[in-house]
Amino acid sequence: MSQLNVYVPESLEKKIRKEAKLNRKSVSAYVADLMKDRMDRGHWRPDFFTKIVGGWKGDFPEIERQAPEERKEL
């Protein structure tokens, strides 16, 4: 793994340490996860549909599609 040195205000450091402890992670792991989440925006989180949306149970319903209608050229 690579190592980065990051300087933050003392007030932010206290918040980071508190949140890391609440999440039972090291400060390094907590900050790395925050950055990964930030960098991965635009992609669905692996647990998005089960944790955030609530998950889908069962098969997807079939959609009845109408046959395309014929039109005259414009």
Mind listing the pLDDT tens digit for each residue in 31-70?
Answer: 999 988 888 777 776 777 777 666 666 777 788 888 888 8
Give rounded-to-5 percent helix, strand, coil for the chain: 40, 0, 60
The DSSP symbol for 33 reads: H
User: For residue 21, what pLDDT is reported?
Assistant: 97
For residue 22, pLDDT over 90 is answered with yes
φ/ψ of 43, rounded to 5, equals: -120, 150
Higher-scoring residue by pLDDT: 13, 68: 13
CA–CA separation, 56 and 49 (whole Å)? 7
CB 16 within 8 A of CB 31: yes
pTM above the 0.75 mark?
no
Higher-scoring residue by pLDDT: 12, 53: 12
Taking alpha carbons only, the member of 52, 32, 51 closest to residue 40 is 32
User: For residue 26, what pLDDT is reported?
Assistant: 95
